[in-house]
Structure 1
Amino acid sequence: MNTILFDLDGTLLPIDMILFEKLYFEELSKDFADIISPSELAKNIWSSTKIMVENTEYKTNEEIFMADFTTRMNMELPALQKRFDDFYDTSFLKIKEYAQDIQCIKESVKILKSKGYTVALATNPLFPEKAIHHRIRWAGFQPEDFSYVSTFEKNHYCKPQLKYYEEILEDIEKNPYDCLMVGNDVQEDLIAKKLGLKTYLITNNLLHRTGEEIITDYSGEYEDFYEYVKDLPSLR
Protein backbone atom coordinates (compact mmCIF):
# COMPACT_ATOMS: atom_id res chain seq x y z
CA MET A 1 0.00 0.00 0.00
CA ASN A 2 1.36 3.39 -1.00
CA THR A 3 -1.67 5.63 -1.56
CA ILE A 4 -4.32 6.99 0.80
CA LEU A 5 -7.59 8.37 -0.58
CA PHE A 6 -9.54 10.59 1.80
CA ASP A 7 -13.16 11.62 1.79
CA LEU A 8 -13.69 15.28 2.74
CA ASP A 9 -17.04 16.05 4.42
CA GLY A 10 -17.34 14.14 7.68
CA THR A 11 -13.81 12.78 7.36
CA LEU A 12 -11.12 15.42 6.88
CA LEU A 13 -13.75 18.10 7.54
CA PRO A 14 -15.94 17.24 10.54
CA ILE A 15 -19.29 18.88 9.86
CA ASP A 16 -22.94 18.04 10.51
CA MET A 17 -24.16 17.40 6.96
CA ILE A 18 -27.81 18.03 7.83
CA LEU A 19 -26.86 21.43 9.21
CA PHE A 20 -24.54 22.05 6.24
CA GLU A 21 -27.35 21.38 3.75
CA LYS A 22 -29.73 23.62 5.69
CA LEU A 23 -27.26 26.51 5.79
CA TYR A 24 -26.23 25.96 2.18
CA PHE A 25 -29.77 26.30 0.86
CA GLU A 26 -30.56 29.20 3.18
CA GLU A 27 -27.63 31.19 1.83
CA LEU A 28 -28.02 30.11 -1.79
CA SER A 29 -31.72 30.96 -1.84
CA LYS A 30 -30.88 34.56 -0.87
CA ASP A 31 -28.67 34.87 -3.95
CA PHE A 32 -31.46 33.53 -6.18
CA ALA A 33 -34.34 35.27 -4.38
CA ASP A 34 -35.03 37.65 -7.27
CA ILE A 35 -35.88 34.83 -9.67
CA ILE A 36 -37.13 31.79 -7.73
CA SER A 37 -38.55 30.76 -4.37
CA PRO A 38 -36.34 28.85 -1.90
CA SER A 39 -38.46 25.71 -2.16
CA GLU A 40 -38.40 25.67 -5.97
CA LEU A 41 -34.68 26.32 -6.03
CA ALA A 42 -33.99 23.42 -3.66
CA LYS A 43 -36.31 21.16 -5.66
CA ASN A 44 -34.50 22.00 -8.91
CA ILE A 45 -31.04 21.52 -7.41
CA TRP A 46 -31.92 18.15 -5.89
CA SER A 47 -33.53 16.99 -9.15
CA SER A 48 -30.50 17.96 -11.23
CA THR A 49 -28.17 16.47 -8.63
CA LYS A 50 -30.04 13.15 -8.79
CA ILE A 51 -29.54 13.03 -12.55
CA MET A 52 -25.86 13.84 -12.12
CA VAL A 53 -25.31 11.17 -9.44
CA GLU A 54 -27.04 8.53 -11.57
CA ASN A 55 -25.23 9.44 -14.79
CA THR A 56 -23.11 6.72 -16.40
CA GLU A 57 -22.12 8.59 -19.58
CA TYR A 58 -18.60 9.93 -20.00
CA LYS A 59 -19.59 13.54 -19.40
CA THR A 60 -18.33 15.73 -16.58
CA ASN A 61 -20.56 16.19 -13.57
CA GLU A 62 -20.70 19.89 -14.43
CA GLU A 63 -21.96 19.13 -17.96
CA ILE A 64 -24.68 16.78 -16.70
CA PHE A 65 -25.83 19.01 -13.84
CA MET A 66 -25.85 22.27 -15.79
CA ALA A 67 -27.58 20.81 -18.85
CA ASP A 68 -30.50 19.79 -16.65
CA PHE A 69 -30.42 22.74 -14.24
CA THR A 70 -30.38 25.45 -16.94
CA THR A 71 -33.51 23.89 -18.43
CA ARG A 72 -35.30 23.77 -15.09
CA MET A 73 -34.30 27.36 -14.33
CA ASN A 74 -34.91 28.63 -17.87
CA MET A 75 -31.58 30.46 -17.74
CA GLU A 76 -28.50 30.64 -19.94
CA LEU A 77 -25.40 28.83 -18.66
CA PRO A 78 -23.13 31.92 -18.30
CA ALA A 79 -25.71 33.72 -16.15
CA LEU A 80 -26.14 30.69 -13.89
CA GLN A 81 -22.41 30.13 -13.58
CA LYS A 82 -21.89 33.75 -12.56
CA ARG A 83 -24.50 33.46 -9.81
CA PHE A 84 -22.86 30.32 -8.45
CA ASP A 85 -19.38 31.84 -8.69
CA ASP A 86 -20.49 34.93 -6.80
CA PHE A 87 -22.19 32.77 -4.17
CA TYR A 88 -19.09 30.64 -3.55
CA ASP A 89 -16.98 33.79 -3.25
CA THR A 90 -19.26 35.42 -0.67
CA SER A 91 -22.31 33.92 1.06
CA PHE A 92 -20.99 30.35 1.03
CA LEU A 93 -18.08 31.40 3.24
CA LYS A 94 -20.46 32.09 6.14
CA ILE A 95 -20.84 28.33 6.63
CA LYS A 96 -17.20 28.05 7.70
CA GLU A 97 -18.02 28.92 11.31
CA TYR A 98 -19.97 25.65 11.63
CA ALA A 99 -17.04 23.52 10.43
CA GLN A 100 -14.22 22.18 12.59
CA ASP A 101 -10.66 21.12 12.06
CA ILE A 102 -9.35 18.19 14.04
CA GLN A 103 -5.69 18.23 15.00
CA CYS A 104 -5.11 14.48 14.92
CA ILE A 105 -6.49 14.08 11.38
CA LYS A 106 -4.31 16.97 10.21
CA GLU A 107 -1.35 15.34 11.90
CA SER A 108 -2.25 11.99 10.29
CA VAL A 109 -2.04 13.52 6.81
CA LYS A 110 1.25 15.19 7.69
CA ILE A 111 2.72 11.88 8.89
CA LEU A 112 1.55 10.02 5.78
CA LYS A 113 3.22 12.55 3.52
CA SER A 114 6.42 12.50 5.56
CA LYS A 115 6.51 8.71 5.19
CA GLY A 116 6.24 8.97 1.42
CA TYR A 117 2.60 7.99 0.86
CA THR A 118 0.61 9.53 -1.97
CA VAL A 119 -2.33 11.41 -0.42
CA ALA A 120 -5.35 12.15 -2.62
CA LEU A 121 -8.73 13.71 -1.93
CA ALA A 122 -11.63 11.54 -3.10
CA THR A 123 -14.58 13.76 -2.20
CA ASN A 124 -17.92 13.26 -3.91
CA PRO A 125 -17.55 15.78 -6.78
CA LEU A 126 -20.94 17.43 -6.44
CA PHE A 127 -19.45 20.91 -5.99
CA PRO A 128 -17.28 23.18 -8.15
CA GLU A 129 -13.56 23.25 -7.52
CA LYS A 130 -13.87 26.63 -5.82
CA ALA A 131 -16.28 25.29 -3.19
CA ILE A 132 -14.18 22.17 -2.61
CA HIS A 133 -11.03 24.24 -2.16
CA HIS A 134 -12.81 26.43 0.40
CA ARG A 135 -13.82 23.36 2.40
CA ILE A 136 -10.30 21.92 2.21
CA ARG A 137 -9.06 25.13 3.83
CA TRP A 138 -11.82 25.00 6.45
CA ALA A 139 -10.42 21.60 7.45
CA GLY A 140 -7.00 23.15 8.02
CA PHE A 141 -5.36 22.03 4.76
CA GLN A 142 -4.38 23.56 1.44
CA PRO A 143 -5.45 22.09 -1.93
CA GLU A 144 -1.75 21.63 -2.69
CA ASP A 145 -1.49 19.19 0.22
CA PHE A 146 -3.14 16.58 -2.01
CA SER A 147 -1.74 15.06 -5.17
CA TYR A 148 -5.27 14.84 -6.58
CA VAL A 149 -8.62 16.46 -5.79
CA SER A 150 -11.86 15.25 -7.38
CA THR A 151 -14.12 18.08 -8.59
CA PHE A 152 -17.40 18.86 -10.35
CA GLU A 153 -15.56 20.20 -13.40
CA LYS A 154 -13.06 17.33 -13.79
CA ASN A 155 -14.76 14.11 -12.78
CA HIS A 156 -17.35 12.19 -14.76
CA TYR A 157 -19.06 10.12 -12.08
CA CYS A 158 -20.20 10.38 -8.46
CA LYS A 159 -20.12 8.18 -5.39
CA PRO A 160 -21.24 5.47 -4.88
CA GLN A 161 -20.58 4.42 -8.48
CA LEU A 162 -17.59 2.17 -8.94
CA LYS A 163 -16.78 4.17 -12.07
CA TYR A 164 -16.03 7.11 -9.78
CA TYR A 165 -13.24 5.17 -8.08
CA GLU A 166 -12.04 3.60 -11.33
CA GLU A 167 -11.60 7.05 -12.85
CA ILE A 168 -9.57 8.29 -9.89
CA LEU A 169 -7.31 5.24 -9.99
CA GLU A 170 -6.75 5.81 -13.69
CA ASP A 171 -6.05 9.52 -13.14
CA ILE A 172 -3.50 8.90 -10.38
CA GLU A 173 -2.10 5.82 -12.14
CA LYS A 174 -2.51 3.50 -9.18
CA ASN A 175 -3.52 -0.12 -8.79
CA PRO A 176 -6.50 -0.59 -6.42
CA TYR A 177 -4.39 -2.90 -4.26
CA ASP A 178 -1.99 0.01 -3.66
CA CYS A 179 -4.74 2.12 -2.09
CA LEU A 180 -6.63 2.68 1.15
CA MET A 181 -9.93 4.59 1.06
CA VAL A 182 -10.64 6.51 4.27
CA GLY A 183 -14.16 7.80 4.84
CA ASN A 184 -17.14 8.03 7.15
CA ASP A 185 -19.86 6.90 4.73
CA VAL A 186 -20.66 3.18 4.64
CA GLN A 187 -22.45 3.26 1.29
CA GLU A 188 -20.32 5.80 -0.56
CA ASP A 189 -16.82 5.09 0.73
CA LEU A 190 -16.70 1.40 1.61
CA ILE A 191 -17.94 0.42 -1.85
CA ALA A 192 -14.36 1.04 -3.01
CA LYS A 193 -13.57 -2.34 -1.44
CA LYS A 194 -15.35 -4.02 -4.37
CA LEU A 195 -12.52 -2.85 -6.63
CA GLY A 196 -9.84 -4.19 -4.32
CA LEU A 197 -9.02 -1.08 -2.30
CA LYS A 198 -8.57 -1.47 1.43
CA THR A 199 -10.99 0.65 3.47
CA TYR A 200 -10.87 2.50 6.78
CA LEU A 201 -14.22 3.62 8.20
CA ILE A 202 -14.00 6.75 10.37
CA THR A 203 -16.78 6.39 12.94
CA ASN A 204 -16.90 9.90 14.44
CA ASN A 205 -19.41 11.17 11.87
CA LEU A 206 -20.70 7.82 10.68
CA LEU A 207 -23.21 7.77 7.82
CA HIS A 208 -25.03 4.45 7.35
CA ARG A 209 -28.29 4.65 5.44
CA THR A 210 -29.31 0.99 5.54
CA GLY A 211 -29.27 -1.92 7.94
CA GLU A 212 -26.71 -3.87 5.92
CA GLU A 213 -23.69 -5.35 7.60
CA ILE A 214 -20.69 -3.03 7.63
CA ILE A 215 -17.75 -4.65 5.85
CA THR A 216 -14.46 -2.80 6.13
CA ASP A 217 -10.82 -3.65 6.64
CA TYR A 218 -10.39 -1.15 9.46
CA SER A 219 -12.57 1.17 11.50
CA GLY A 220 -12.16 3.59 14.35
CA GLU A 221 -12.32 7.17 15.52
CA TYR A 222 -9.87 9.89 14.53
CA GLU A 223 -7.49 8.98 17.33
CA ASP A 224 -7.50 5.32 16.26
CA PHE A 225 -6.69 6.30 12.70
CA TYR A 226 -3.85 8.49 13.96
CA GLU A 227 -2.34 5.51 15.79
CA TYR A 228 -2.82 3.35 12.69
CA VAL A 229 -0.95 5.92 10.57
CA LYS A 230 1.91 6.15 13.07
CA ASP A 231 2.37 2.37 12.81
CA LEU A 232 2.51 2.32 8.99
CA PRO A 233 5.96 1.67 7.54
CA SER A 234 7.87 4.50 5.90
CA LEU A 235 8.17 4.22 2.13
CA ARG A 236 11.23 6.43 1.95
Structure 2
Amino acid sequence: MLKCIAFDMDDTLLSINLSAFIAVFAKDEATLLADVGRKNPLATFASLTGVMLDLNNNSRSDDDTRTNRAFFDAEIERRCGVALADPVVADAFTYYEREVLPGRNDAIIAARPRPGALEAVDRALDRGYTVALLTNPSFSEACIRTRMGWGSLTDIPFKLVTYMENTTRVKPSPTYYLACAETLGFAPEEILMVGNDPKRDFPTPDCGIQTAYVGHGRRPVRATWAGSMEEFARSFDEVEERFAAYAERRLLDIVQDTSVGH
Protein backbone atom coordinates (compact mmCIF):
# COMPACT_ATOMS: atom_id res chain seq x y z
CA MET A 1 0.00 0.00 0.00
CA LEU A 2 1.36 3.41 -0.98
CA LYS A 3 1.99 5.59 2.07
CA CYS A 4 4.87 7.93 1.19
CA ILE A 5 5.81 9.88 -1.93
CA ALA A 6 9.46 10.92 -2.07
CA PHE A 7 10.51 13.57 -4.56
CA ASP A 8 13.88 14.27 -6.10
CA MET A 9 14.63 18.01 -6.35
CA ASP A 10 16.85 19.07 -9.28
CA ASP A 11 14.92 18.88 -12.57
CA THR A 12 12.06 17.17 -10.72
CA LEU A 13 10.59 19.81 -8.42
CA LEU A 14 13.15 22.47 -9.36
CA SER A 15 13.93 23.46 -12.95
CA ILE A 16 17.63 24.25 -13.01
CA ASN A 17 20.67 24.17 -15.27
CA LEU A 18 22.42 21.81 -12.87
CA SER A 19 25.71 21.73 -14.76
CA ALA A 20 25.93 25.54 -14.63
CA PHE A 21 25.06 25.54 -10.94
CA ILE A 22 27.71 22.94 -10.09
CA ALA A 23 30.32 24.87 -12.10
CA VAL A 24 29.57 28.11 -10.23
CA PHE A 25 29.36 26.37 -6.86
CA ALA A 26 32.62 24.42 -7.31
CA LYS A 27 34.50 27.50 -8.53
CA ASP A 28 33.27 29.63 -5.61
CA GLU A 29 34.03 26.99 -2.99
CA ALA A 30 37.44 26.21 -4.48
CA THR A 31 38.31 29.91 -4.41
CA LEU A 32 37.20 30.14 -0.78
CA LEU A 33 39.17 27.00 0.05
CA ALA A 34 42.27 28.45 -1.61
CA ASP A 35 41.91 31.74 0.30
CA VAL A 36 41.40 30.03 3.65
CA GLY A 37 44.23 27.54 3.16
CA ARG A 38 46.52 29.88 1.21
CA LYS A 39 46.68 27.33 -1.59
CA ASN A 40 46.89 27.50 -5.37
CA PRO A 41 43.32 28.06 -6.70
CA LEU A 42 43.74 25.67 -9.62
CA ALA A 43 45.05 22.93 -7.33
CA THR A 44 42.20 23.39 -4.85
CA PHE A 45 39.65 23.33 -7.68
CA ALA A 46 41.07 20.04 -8.94
CA SER A 47 41.05 18.58 -5.43
CA LEU A 48 37.52 19.78 -4.66
CA THR A 49 36.05 18.43 -7.89
CA GLY A 50 37.88 15.14 -7.34
CA VAL A 51 36.35 14.74 -3.88
CA MET A 52 32.90 15.65 -5.24
CA LEU A 53 33.30 12.97 -7.91
CA ASP A 54 34.38 10.34 -5.37
CA LEU A 55 31.41 11.21 -3.16
CA ASN A 56 28.97 10.93 -6.06
CA ASN A 57 30.46 7.59 -7.10
CA ASN A 58 30.18 6.16 -3.55
CA SER A 59 33.91 5.50 -3.75
CA ARG A 60 34.49 3.95 -0.34
CA SER A 61 34.33 0.61 1.42
CA ASP A 62 31.04 -0.95 2.45
CA ASP A 63 31.99 -0.78 6.13
CA ASP A 64 32.58 2.98 6.03
CA THR A 65 29.72 4.38 8.13
CA ARG A 66 30.79 8.02 8.10
CA THR A 67 28.28 10.61 6.98
CA ASN A 68 28.81 12.11 3.54
CA ARG A 69 29.83 15.31 5.33
CA ALA A 70 32.52 13.51 7.35
CA PHE A 71 33.79 11.69 4.25
CA PHE A 72 33.92 14.92 2.25
CA ASP A 73 35.66 16.89 5.02
CA ALA A 74 38.25 14.17 5.61
CA GLU A 75 39.08 13.92 1.91
CA ILE A 76 39.42 17.71 1.56
CA GLU A 77 41.75 17.81 4.56
CA ARG A 78 43.80 14.91 3.18
CA ARG A 79 44.14 16.45 -0.28
CA CYS A 80 44.26 20.17 0.54
CA GLY A 81 45.42 20.33 4.13
CA VAL A 82 42.41 22.43 5.15
CA ALA A 83 40.22 21.27 8.04
CA LEU A 84 36.65 22.14 7.03
CA ALA A 85 35.48 21.10 10.49
CA ASP A 86 37.45 23.92 12.09
CA PRO A 87 34.80 26.34 13.43
CA VAL A 88 36.32 29.38 11.72
CA VAL A 89 36.59 27.62 8.38
CA ALA A 90 33.13 26.07 8.74
CA ASP A 91 31.62 29.48 9.48
CA ALA A 92 33.15 30.92 6.30
CA PHE A 93 31.66 28.19 4.13
CA THR A 94 28.30 28.32 5.90
CA TYR A 95 28.18 32.09 5.37
CA TYR A 96 28.86 31.62 1.66
CA GLU A 97 26.19 28.94 1.26
CA ARG A 98 23.54 30.79 3.28
CA GLU A 99 24.20 34.41 2.37
CA VAL A 100 26.09 34.52 -0.94
CA LEU A 101 24.94 31.45 -2.85
CA PRO A 102 21.23 32.42 -2.87
CA GLY A 103 22.16 35.45 -5.01
CA ARG A 104 24.05 33.34 -7.56
CA ASN A 105 20.89 32.22 -9.34
CA ASP A 106 21.10 33.99 -12.71
CA ALA A 107 19.74 33.67 -16.24
CA ILE A 108 22.12 30.77 -16.93
CA ILE A 109 21.39 28.70 -13.82
CA ALA A 110 17.73 29.75 -14.20
CA ALA A 111 16.46 27.94 -11.11
CA ARG A 112 12.69 28.11 -10.57
CA PRO A 113 9.80 25.80 -9.64
CA ARG A 114 9.27 23.17 -12.29
CA PRO A 115 5.83 23.37 -13.93
CA GLY A 116 3.46 21.06 -12.09
CA ALA A 117 5.83 20.51 -9.16
CA LEU A 118 4.05 22.41 -6.42
CA GLU A 119 0.71 21.09 -7.64
CA ALA A 120 2.03 17.52 -7.42
CA VAL A 121 3.23 17.97 -3.84
CA ASP A 122 -0.06 19.60 -2.86
CA ARG A 123 -2.00 16.72 -4.43
CA ALA A 124 0.09 14.19 -2.48
CA LEU A 125 -0.54 16.03 0.78
CA ASP A 126 -4.25 16.40 0.03
CA ARG A 127 -4.49 12.62 -0.37
CA GLY A 128 -2.85 12.06 2.99
CA TYR A 129 0.55 10.85 1.86
CA THR A 130 3.73 11.59 3.76
CA VAL A 131 6.10 13.54 1.52
CA ALA A 132 9.91 13.55 1.57
CA LEU A 133 12.60 15.36 -0.40
CA LEU A 134 15.18 12.75 -1.36
CA THR A 135 17.52 14.99 -3.29
CA ASN A 136 20.98 13.54 -3.94
CA PRO A 137 22.85 14.27 -0.67
CA SER A 138 26.14 15.37 -2.19
CA PHE A 139 25.70 18.95 -0.92
CA SER A 140 25.44 20.46 2.56
CA GLU A 141 22.14 21.26 4.22
CA ALA A 142 22.70 24.99 3.70
CA CYS A 143 23.33 24.49 -0.02
CA ILE A 144 20.30 22.25 -0.48
CA ARG A 145 18.04 24.64 1.43
CA THR A 146 19.23 27.46 -0.83
CA ARG A 147 18.00 25.50 -3.85
CA MET A 148 14.78 24.66 -2.02
CA GLY A 149 14.24 28.41 -1.71
CA TRP A 150 14.71 28.82 -5.46
CA GLY A 151 12.00 26.22 -6.00
CA SER A 152 9.53 27.66 -3.43
CA LEU A 153 9.89 24.41 -1.45
CA THR A 154 10.92 25.84 1.91
CA ASP A 155 7.48 25.77 3.56
CA ILE A 156 6.45 22.29 2.41
CA PRO A 157 6.18 19.87 5.39
CA PHE A 158 8.67 17.28 4.13
CA LYS A 159 9.15 14.61 6.79
CA LEU A 160 12.72 14.14 5.60
CA VAL A 161 15.14 16.20 3.51
CA THR A 162 18.44 14.49 2.71
CA TYR A 163 21.80 16.26 2.61
CA MET A 164 25.44 15.57 3.39
CA GLU A 165 25.08 15.76 7.13
CA ASN A 166 22.31 13.16 7.61
CA THR A 167 23.28 10.46 5.08
CA THR A 168 26.11 7.98 4.58
CA ARG A 169 25.76 7.28 0.84
CA VAL A 170 24.38 8.97 -2.27
CA LYS A 171 22.02 7.77 -5.00
CA PRO A 172 21.52 5.17 -6.40
CA SER A 173 22.92 3.14 -3.50
CA PRO A 174 20.25 1.00 -1.81
CA THR A 175 22.01 1.81 1.47
CA TYR A 176 20.90 5.42 1.00
CA TYR A 177 17.33 4.52 0.05
CA LEU A 178 16.86 1.93 2.80
CA ALA A 179 18.21 4.33 5.44
CA CYS A 180 15.71 6.93 4.23
CA ALA A 181 12.88 4.40 4.44
CA GLU A 182 13.88 3.52 7.99
CA THR A 183 14.03 7.19 9.00
CA LEU A 184 10.62 7.80 7.44
CA GLY A 185 9.17 4.78 9.22
CA PHE A 186 7.94 2.98 6.11
CA ALA A 187 8.79 -0.26 4.37
CA PRO A 188 10.48 0.26 0.99
CA GLU A 189 7.39 -1.23 -0.65
CA GLU A 190 5.28 1.62 0.77
CA ILE A 191 7.33 4.38 -0.90
CA LEU A 192 7.13 5.86 -4.39
CA MET A 193 10.20 7.76 -5.57
CA VAL A 194 9.52 10.53 -8.12
CA GLY A 195 12.54 11.59 -10.13
CA ASN A 196 13.99 12.56 -13.49
CA ASP A 197 17.30 10.69 -13.43
CA PRO A 198 17.13 7.20 -15.04
CA LYS A 199 20.17 6.11 -13.06
CA ARG A 200 20.17 7.81 -9.67
CA ASP A 201 16.42 7.84 -8.97
CA PHE A 202 16.12 4.07 -9.33
CA PRO A 203 17.78 2.26 -6.40
CA THR A 204 20.51 0.00 -7.79
CA PRO A 205 20.28 -2.85 -7.06
CA ASP A 206 16.51 -2.83 -6.56
CA CYS A 207 15.51 -2.62 -2.89
CA GLY A 208 11.72 -2.56 -3.21
CA ILE A 209 11.13 1.15 -3.78
CA GLN A 210 9.14 1.93 -6.92
CA THR A 211 9.95 4.96 -9.10
CA ALA A 212 7.79 7.30 -11.17
CA TYR A 213 9.93 8.77 -13.95
CA VAL A 214 9.40 12.45 -14.83
CA GLY A 215 12.49 12.90 -17.01
CA HIS A 216 12.73 13.70 -20.71
CA GLY A 217 14.44 10.57 -22.02
CA ARG A 218 13.16 7.13 -22.93
CA ARG A 219 11.03 5.51 -20.25
CA PRO A 220 13.22 3.27 -18.05
CA VAL A 221 12.11 -0.35 -17.96
CA ARG A 222 11.73 -0.26 -14.17
CA ALA A 223 9.51 2.84 -14.13
CA THR A 224 6.13 2.29 -12.49
CA TRP A 225 4.78 5.37 -14.29
CA ALA A 226 6.33 7.85 -16.72
CA GLY A 227 5.38 11.31 -17.94
CA SER A 228 5.96 14.99 -17.22
CA MET A 229 5.66 16.49 -13.76
CA GLU A 230 2.53 18.30 -14.89
CA GLU A 231 1.04 14.99 -15.99
CA PHE A 232 2.04 13.40 -12.70
CA ALA A 233 0.15 16.11 -10.81
CA ARG A 234 -2.98 15.37 -12.88
CA SER A 235 -2.70 11.57 -12.86
CA PHE A 236 -2.75 10.48 -9.23
CA ASP A 237 -5.49 7.89 -9.78
CA GLU A 238 -3.44 6.25 -12.53
CA VAL A 239 -0.23 6.47 -10.49
CA GLU A 240 -1.92 4.78 -7.52
CA GLU A 241 -3.35 2.05 -9.73
CA ARG A 242 0.02 1.37 -11.36
CA PHE A 243 1.74 1.35 -7.97
CA ALA A 244 -0.73 -1.25 -6.63
CA ALA A 245 -0.52 -3.39 -9.79
CA TYR A 246 3.28 -3.33 -9.74
CA ALA A 247 3.31 -4.31 -6.06
CA GLU A 248 0.92 -7.20 -6.72
CA ARG A 249 3.06 -8.50 -9.59
CA ARG A 250 6.16 -8.32 -7.44
CA LEU A 251 4.42 -10.23 -4.63
CA LEU A 252 3.31 -12.94 -7.06
CA ASP A 253 6.85 -13.25 -8.37
CA ILE A 254 8.16 -13.70 -4.83
CA VAL A 255 5.52 -16.35 -4.08
CA GLN A 256 6.31 -18.23 -7.31
CA ASP A 257 10.05 -18.09 -6.64
CA THR A 258 9.45 -19.46 -3.12
CA SER A 259 7.27 -22.26 -4.50
CA VAL A 260 9.90 -23.23 -7.06
CA GLY A 261 12.54 -23.24 -4.34
CA HIS A 262 10.58 -25.80 -2.35
TM-score bin (small chain): 0.7 to 0.9
What residue is the counterpart of 2:68 in the other structure? 61
1:227–1:213 CA distance, 2 compared to 1 (3 A): closer
> Within 2, Cα distance between the matches of 1:230 and 1:91?
42
- C-alpha deviation, 1:189, in angstroms: 0.5
1:213–1:197 CA distance, 2 compared to 1 (3 A): closer
Instruction: Output the TM-score relative to the length of structure 1.
Output: 0.87
Number of residues of Structure 1 aligned to a counterpart in Structure 2: 228
- C-alpha deviation, 1:135, in angstroms: 1.1
Question: Per the alignment, in what secondary structure is the counterpart of residue 66 of structure 1?
Answer: helix
1:111–1:230 CA distance, 2 compared to 1 (3 A): farther
- Is 2:52 aligned against 1:49? yes
8 Å contact 2:67–2:167 — kept in the other structure? yes
**Which of 216, 222, 225 is the equivalent residue of 1:218?**
225
What residue is the counterpart of 1:22 in the other structure? 23
> Within 1, Cα distance between the matches of 2:71 and 2:27?
24
> Within 2, Cα distance between the matches of 1:26 and 1:75?
17
Instruction: Output the TM-score relative to the length of structure 2.
Output: 0.79
- C-alpha deviation, 1:50, in angstroms: 3.5
Identity %: 25
Q: Structure 1: which 5+ runs fail to align?
A: none
> Within 1, Cα distance between the matches of 2:6 and 2:89?
32
Give the CA RMSD over aligned residues.
2.3
> Within 2, Cα distance between the matches of 1:192 and 1:113?
28
- Is 2:207 aligned against 1:195? yes
**Which of 43, 46, 70 is the equivalent residue of 1:40?**
43
Query: What aligned pairs does 1:11-160 form with structure 2 within 5 A after superposition?
Result: 11-32=12-33, 34=35, 35-52=38-55, 53-55=58-60, 56=62, 57-76=64-83, 77-78=85-86, 79-97=88-106, 98-142=110-154, 144-160=156-172
Larger radius of gyration: 2
- C-alpha deviation, 1:41, in angstroms: 2.5
Q: Structure 2: which 5+ runs fail to align?
A: 241-262
1:27–1:75 CA distance, 2 compared to 1 (3 A): closer
